Amino acid sequence: MTSIYIVGTPIGNLQDITFRAIEILRNVDFVLAEDTRKTKVLLEYYKINKPIISYHQHSTEAKVSHIVNLLKSNQNLALVTDAGTPGVSDPGNHLLDALWQKKLNGLNVDIIPIPGASSVTTILSVCGFPTDDFLFLGFLPKKKGRETLLKSLRQEKRTIVIFESPYRVVKSLENIEKFLGNIDVVIGRELTKKFEEILRGKLKDVVKYLKRKNPKGEFVVVLNNR
């Protein structure tokens, strides 16, 4: 039986990868990558020489069919994302949905998860908020639906995790304060990378800090609405 491995990769520090993931990447026939350039850096770091196939949010159904045909011809594949775990706030979930449908209709393939780094669990591990039950929202809607979503969170008692870009993080936090008040927040910026920064405080104070420093990088935000 042929296999496709869903491989968790580092979210920043290239050493944050499991021995099992490295072994899988060394032994598959092809690597499916959201960004071939970033994946090439990872593979070269571990001296892995494998052909890379692009698969991202703009990939067509023809690309999905090509991947299915590779599996039918007994080629073992690994799916990776830019950083972290494929399928979590990531276009890989479309491919996986298609593969499960094919599997349910007779495609002889194993779909195997290879656990790895996740910015969600990374920030939750240090936030200090209750994590026995949390709500992950990915990126907030840019415009349509944002206000409705934030209003709905007023009664939410679980710890909330969102992603945000450096260009919208201040505006998003100001929007959150408008609807949820001056609650406690933790932000993680550039997690596991050279300029990693983790900050905890009240929303107003964190917004003031971000406006003053204007830091770059990708953000993970944890909200304590209890």
84-96 tens-digit pLDDT: 988 887 788 889 9
Count other C-beta atoms under 10 Å from residue 173's C-beta: 22
pLDDT in tens, 129-175: 999 999 999 999 988 889 999 999 999 999 999 999 999 999 999 99
Q: How many Å apart are CA 59 and CA 114, to the nearest integer?
A: 23
Are 108 and 8 in a shared domain?
yes
- Categorize the per-residue pLDDT at 31 as very low, low, confident or very high, splitting at 50, 70 and 90: very high
**Residue for token digits 């405080």?**
201
- Give the domain-ending residue among 92, 114, 136: 114
Residue 185 sits in a domain whose CATH number is 3.30.950.10
> Which of these three, 91, 114, 137, is where a domain ends?
114
* Final residue belonging to a domain, choices 114, 139, 164: 114
**Angle, helices 92-104/61-72, rounded to nearest 10 degrees:** 50
Across the chain, what does the average pLDDT equal? 94
Give the per-residue SS3 of 138-185.
EECCCCCCHHHHHHHHHHCCCEEEEEECCCCHHHHHHHHHHHHCCCEE
Expressed as residue numbers, the domain containing 28 is: 2-114
pLDDT (average), residues 106-120:
94
Say what the pLDDT of residue 88 is.
81
Q: Express as a percent the part of the chain with pLDDT over 90.
A: 84
Residues 74 and 161 in one domain: no
Same-domain check for residues 33 and 124: no
Q: Do both 65 and 23 map to the same domain?
A: yes
Crossing angle, helix 203-213 and helix 169-180, to 10 degrees?
160
Compute CA distances 150 → 131, 154, 172, whole Å.
20, 7, 10
The answer to whether residues 135 and 110 belong to one domain is no
Are 105 and 142 contained in the same domain? Answer: no
Calpha distance 199→187 (Å, rounded)? 5
Query: What local confidence, expressed as pLDDT, does residue 129 receive?
Result: 97
Q: What is the pLDDT of residue 4?
A: 97
CATH number, domain of 52, equals 3.40.1010.10
Predicted local distance difference test score (pLDDT) of residue 89: 77
Residues 211 and 133 in one domain: yes
Q: Which pLDDT score, from 0 to 100, does residue 144 have?
A: 84
Q: Are 173 and 165 in contact (CB under 8 A)?
A: no
pLDDT class of 128 with cuts at 50, 70, 90: very high
**pLDDT(69) > 80:** yes
- CA count, 13 A, side-chain hemisphere, 14: 10
pLDDT of residue 92: 81
Residue with token string 């494929």: 86
Please count the structural domains in the chain. Answer: 2
